[in-house]
Homo-oligomer: A and B are copies of this chain.
Amino acid sequence: MKSKHTTEIASLGEFGLIDRLTSRLALRSGTTLKGAGDDAAVIDLGDDVLLLTTDMLTEGIDFDLSYFPLKHLGYKAIVRGVNDILAMNARPEHVVVALGVSAKISVEALDELYEGMEHACNELGIDLVGGDTTASMNGLIITVSATGRAKKEDVVYRNGAKEHDLICITSNLGAAYMGLHLLEREKRVLQDVENPEPKFEGHEYLLERYLKPRARTNVLEALREEGIRPTSMIDLSDGLASDLRQICRASECGARIYLERIPIARQTTELAEEMHIDPVIAALNGGEDHELLFTVPLDKQEAVMRLGLVDVIGHITRPESGVILVTPDGEGIALKAQAFDR
């Protein structure tokens, strides 16, 4: 590198790096309906569109093989890749997997990884249609690239939220984050113990949420059956605060969400308190929830509540109102990506 001036990636802030890298990208093909900047790219096929996305997991950052069973890791890698297709309201169809493998990984370990991938593909009714295996100097690397199909008019982008729309989420938040914290704690506590027996009783739900997140295809199907088309949608991977801000940024709007309406599982709250973590922080900023965050028009309130699969946590506002978390005593706090200030 001969650059006289170098900039650390972290200094660019929340959306800085992606914005900077993708802003230069020219779109030449008339078939590209949406390039970078949403959960997946959208490519014109005539009546239908093709969705395309890619997702990389690296050892030591995204997973720790000392406690992450390879079968689960394979399953999770596929679900993560496919979630970006689901978040466009599309049907996932095909995945390809590129692996970087270090010399220390055995064939049996890769068998397990593939078993988990195949299990996920089977559940989702999709095909794993190829891949690439290369050596890696340091640790396992998994890139899952996924395609999907949808009718053009069915695709839901991040940028369609309108004032008064309701903000909805599937399942509950913060559980995966607490599952990860539990795994990290037991690893730390037992690192010098000869036959370690980690204490996971009562926390199975949290572990499963972290190790084996489920794709919410059922929610999308239920919405379709009820004739509810989300106005905007995103995969909840970076945490509610950051992902809601992505929707507001793309849709040029603000949002108000209500703290007491954010669904947090009992198990999440219990472990968070035991570990002196604020469960609200886990829910807002923990990340890796892999639930769907979406908006629906106000007049769909009853219909969406009736599904029993979704919580309404707030509504969309004008852009100048900002992205606000309302506490039970009515105080409004501006939501930031990685933390929130009282």
Contacts and interface: CB of A to CB of B under 8 A. Distances in A.
A135 B58 contact: yes
B101 A9 contact: yes
A58 B107 contact: no
A38 B111 CA distance: 21
B134 A58 contact: yes
A43 interface: yes
Q: Is the interface of A mostly helix, strand, loop or mixed?
A: mixed
8 contacts: A8-B107, A24-B114, A25-B118, A52-B147, A53-B96, A54-B145, A57-B134, A98-B145
A145 B130 CA distance: 11
A197 to B, nearest CB: 15
Interface stretch (A13-21, A275-283, A304-312): A13-21
A97 interface: yes
Contacts of A147: 43, 50, 52, 147
Given A129-B35, A129-B52, A147-B52, A17 B110 contact: yes
A4 to B, nearest CB: 9
Contacts of A141: 56, 58, 100, 136, 141
Interface residues of A, number: 83
A54 B143 contact: yes
Taken together, the copies of this chain in the complex come to 2
Interface string A39-72: 0110101000010111111111110000000000
A7 B41 contact: no
A12 B101 CA distance: 15
A229 interface: no
A24 B101 contact: no
A3 B105 CA distance: 12
Given A26-B118, A50-B147, A122-B26, A20 B135 contact: no
Please list the 5 inter-chain residue pairs (A to B) with the smallest Cβ-Cβ separation, ordered nearest first: A138-B138, A41-B129, A6-B106, A145-B145, A143-B143
B8 A106 contact: yes
Contact of A134 (B50, B56, B93): B56
Contacts of A125: 28-29
A32 interface: yes
A12 B143 contact: no
A36 interface: yes
Interface string A96-139: 11111101011111110011001001100111111111111111
